[in-house]
Structure 1
Amino acid sequence: MPRVLLAWEGGAGRGHVVTLRSVAAALGAPEHIDAALYRMEHAGEIEDVCGTVFRGAGLRYDGEGRRARGVKTASWGEFLGDLGFRDPDFLKTQIGWWRETILARRCGLVVGDYAPCALLAARSLGVKAVGVGAGYGLPPPGLDIFPVLIEDYSERLYDESEMTGAVNAALAHYGAPPVSRFSDIYAYDDQLVRSLPQLDPYPQARTAPYLPPVADAPQRLYSEGDEIFAYFSTSELDDPLLLDAFLSLDAPRRVFAPGAGAQAREKLARAPGVTLEARPVPVEEIARRSRMIVHSSQNGILALGLACGLSQAAAPQHLEQEFNARKAESLGVLRRLPRRAAEASVLGDVLMDAYESQEMRRAAQAVAQTVRPVFEVDVSQAIRTRLDAVMRAFGP
């Protein structure tokens, strides 16, 4: 088996590390696997399936100009522009770091989640490159321009042809061939899209089968739960209105919030009717105990809620989560919390309305019947089969 480098360059939360863990677990050969993570707070979740885990080079987000002009991110291409893809010198440095790492570790395969420069580096060296992750952050190549994904936010700040030029200048520096379109930076040997078609911005452009989202499904659907389960992976509960709204709810609550600050965690731990979990809760327990699930609309937890047949409420923190939430809302199974609520009671009313809605419960149970077959795929076997097709070296 060739040496494999797992790469993560951008994004927040533990979902990216959990996604890469699923790849390492599928391969089952820790001594041949390295992981380079641009953030290390969740490194412990992958250390047991990798030989070496170390800090990698991260993309830089610069949204000052966008904020100053009051312009939201219109497309994935615009987001890449904020991450430094307008700057050929930055791209040379970023790609160069990954090239040096790939060569030093003698890797024959790079698998990246939110790692476009790592995978460009692999391609520039003739090393096999595979992207993995949710559909939103793993667009298909061949798009003439990245489309606007939310009609409310359609103003563009950047010219994709100029960003294509910046990428090609960096690639030329390393003697690598140019890309024809900006989206062609995602022309990998394979894309392991871990998403439901209902949550993918590009379902018509996919040429390979979807893999299940990075979430488990319960063995069956339950209907007797009365808890509200909340999952906040970053600093969502640092928002005092959201925290106060959650604490005020007239229902039993269970929360796993690995990214919450000390003050929020203290309030949760002291609050009557709230169980603060120290580690991830098994999906069977979530499904059996819960009537509703609350989150920021991350791909994995949203998909888990769909598979469990639970009503959902979401407080999106950025455009990807906003896109996910609107998709789920269109299915009749989720309520979005208002972004500029004047007081916590407004958010609390939305949460309790979703909790008590029989219409949402019926819709959630119906949607669960349509998505549950996706989760029946043996993910480890599917990943191994796909990577075997790329490398022809992994055995049966």
Structure 2
Amino acid sequence: MARILIGWELGANTGHIVKLAGIAGELAARGHEPVFAVQQIGTVPPGYPVWQAPLWPTQLATLSRRAETAPATMGDILAVLGLGDAAAMRAIIAAWDGLLAAVRPDVVAAEFAPGLMMSAIGRVPLLGLGTGFSLPPAHLPVFASLTGQPAAQDETVLLDAVNAALRANARPPLDRLTQIFTSDLELPAVFREIDPYREWRRSAYGAPSVMPAPALATGGGDELFVYMNGLIRWPDGFWQGLVDSRLKVRVHDPRLSDADAAVLTGAGLIVERRPVPFDRIVARSRMALSHGGLGMACSALLAGLPMAFMPFDIEKKMVAASVVTLGLGARLDFELVEAARLAAMLRATFENEALHARARAAAPGFRDRMGAGCERQTADAVESLLG
């Protein structure tokens, strides 16, 4: 039996812990001892040892900051989170060092956890986990632009801060900033088509964290399923646009209050207060609308269910752009949403027979790549590092 530290630092959506919980279950079934060190300790399923992961500066509400310029690269995103704060990074690496000394893992599996990766590399066999977006290739000379715009932050300045933090922890400096994502083995759990780094990726892809694969859509559904989530207020025209679409709309938004749900129900929408199994979504729906979360997008691709997207951050815009480029969805960016425009986009997408046919025709190709599934593939990767 081996002790496996499963670490998660960055990213706020629930997909991270859902994925890691499944991986832990598979590792435990093989006789290993998973130990969690995560940013949100309350999300870990019972039965596992749990440690609080070191928090980055902007994960503390009193220290949160906003980007002055729209981020274009992972370096820009991490700068907003505090990567350029040498004192904070020194403390984060030192905290991970202490945690590793206490847990004494045989392997570390790091999910969007560059602080943990900097602490563990060269000390403990390290598996880098993440989606395409959250696991940039470490061999790149600089972080690739995700928007086509130049980086907002000077990577040499960020690198100086990181290297100061590493030296303070008796670690060798890095040659380039991308090396913060260095691992002994990496496993991006994403379809290649949705990986923003697919042009540069050298490692093999793993299956997205979607198991079991949902049933195939038949095209017989008559609903629009809407799943929205995130720490942001939806545009004023969003809910009115759903009503004005005159479609049969079923909504799940975990942030809705009972009062809001009652108002939406009165306006003719069907409001689900609990998560809906994806097979039920597929059976009832002709299409789906979401904020661009990877799990929802991959599930829709596997089912052959067309998607409409209303993305609000750089990661979700990348997911939406990839699906639209494949000809399998439509997109209306968050900042462009107003009721009439949203209603028209939804109706046009709902009635687009060619789009629906393409989505159903593409689904088998995605399903063929699921293999043993994310959990088993990750456990296999962990065991390969055990020797």
Give, in angstroms, the shift of residue 339 of structure 1.
Answer: 3.1
Secondary structure of 2:13 counterpart: coil
Give how far 1:73 is off: 0.8
Distance apart, 1:270 and its partner CA:
4.6
Cα deviation for residue 335 of structure 1 reads: 1.4
By relative contact order (CA 8 Å, sep 6+), the higher-ranking structure is: 2
Report the Cα distance in structure 1 between the residues aligned to 2:169 and 2:65, rounded to whole angstroms. 31
State the TM-score, normalizing by the size of structure 1. Answer: 0.88
Q: CA deviation at 1:272?
A: 2.8
Identity of aligned pairs, percent? 26
Return the alpha-carbon distance in structure 2 between the equivalents of residues 194 and 338 of structure 1: 25
> In the aligned structure 2, how far is the partner of 1:128 from the partner of 1:97?
18
1:197 aligns with 2:192: yes
The alpha-carbon distance between structure 1 residues 348 and 47, as it changes in their structure 2 partners (threshold 3 A), is same
Q: Return the match for 2:110 from 103, 109, 112.
A: 112
Residue 23, structure 1, aligned to residue 19, structure 2: no
Equivalent position of 1:320 in the other structure? 315
Corresponding position of 1:47: 45
Equivalent pairs counted in the alignment come to 381
In 2, Cα distance between equivalents of 1:332 and 1:269? 33
1:122 Cα shift? 1.8
Q: Per the alignment, do residues 379 and 38 of structure 1 end up closer, same or farther by CA in structure 2, a change over 3 Å counting?
A: closer
1:122 equivalenced with 2:123 (yes/no)? no
Counterpart in 2 of 1:336? 331
Name the SS of the counterpart of 1:137 in structure 2.
coil
Note closer, same or farther for the CA distance 1:53–1:266 as it changes in structure 2 (3 Å cut). farther
What is the CA-CA distance between 1:269 and the residue it aligns to? 4.9
Q: Tell me the CA shift for residue 208 of structure 1.
A: 2.9
Contact 1:295 1:301 in 2 (8 A): yes
Inter-partner Cα distance in structure 2 for 1:109 and 1:247: 51
Distance in 2 of aligned mates of 1:198 and 1:312: 15
Q: Secondary structure at the match of 1:179?
A: coil
Identify the range of structure 1 (98-107 vs 254-263) with the bigger mean alpha-carbon deviation: 254-263
Judged with a 3 Å threshold, the aligned counterparts in structure 2 of structure 1 residues 270 and 159 are, in CA distance, closer, same or farther, namely same
1:283-298 residue pairs with structure 2 within 5 A?
A: 283-298=278-293
Distance in 2 between the 1:342 and 1:287 partners? 26
1:210 lines up with 2:205 in the alignment? yes
Mean CA deviation greater in 4-13 or 306-315: 4-13
1:206 & 1:342 partners in 2: Cα distance?
Answer: 34
Q: CA RMSD of the aligned region, Å? A: 2.4
- The C-alpha deviation readout for 1:262-288, integer Å capped at 9, x for no partner, is 554443455434141413x22222222
Give the Cα–Cα distance (whole angstroms) in 2 for the partners of residues 223 and 65 of structure 1: 43
Kept in 2, the 8 Å contact 1:164–1:179? The answer is yes
Worse overlay, 226-235 or 251-260? 251-260
TM-aligned CA deviation for residue 8 of structure 1? 1.7
**Does structure 2 retain, via aligned residues, the 8 Å contact 1:81–1:158?**
yes
2:382 to 380, 387, 391: 387
Task: State the one-letter code of the partner of 2:146.
Answer: L
CA distance in 2, matches of 1:360, 1:17: 33
State the partner residue of 1:101: 99
Gap change, CA 1:3 and 1:283, over 3 Å in 2? same
Which of 143, 146, 168 aligns to 1:146? It is 143
Aligned 8 A contact 1:74 1:156 in 2: yes
Residue 243 of structure 1 aligns to a residue whose secondary structure is helix
TM-score, normalised to structure 2, is: 0.90
8 Å CA contact 2:6, 2:35 repeated in 1: yes
CA contact (8 A) 1:135 1:202 kept: yes
Q: CA deviation at 1:3?
A: 2.2
Q: How far apart in 2 are the matches of 1:277 and 1:348?
A: 23
Q: For 1:164-203, what aligned pairs fall within 5 Å after superposition? A: 164-203=159-198
The more displaced of 310-319 and 361-370 is 361-370
Does 2:75 match 1:77? yes
Answer yes or no: is the 8 Å Cα contact 2:227–2:290 preserved in 1.
yes
- In structure 2, the CA distance between the partners of 1:277 and 1:375, relative to structure 1 (3 Å rule), is farther
Q: Report the 3-state secondary structure (helix = DSSP H, G, I; strand = E; otherwise coil) of the residue aligned with 1:24.
A: helix
Alignment check: 8 A CA contact 2:121 2:182 kept: no
Question: Comparing 302-311 with 199-208, which one deviates more in the overlay?
Answer: 199-208
Runs of at least 5 residues in structure 2 that lack an aligned partner in the other structure: none
- More divergent stretch after superposition (198-207 vs 256-265): 256-265
Match for residue 356 of structure 1?
Answer: 351
Name the CA shift for 1:210/1:87 in 2 (closer, same or farther; >3 Å).
Answer: same
SS of residue paired to 2:37 = strand
Q: Deviations over 1:352-385 (max 9, x none)?
A: 2111111211221222232121124343332221
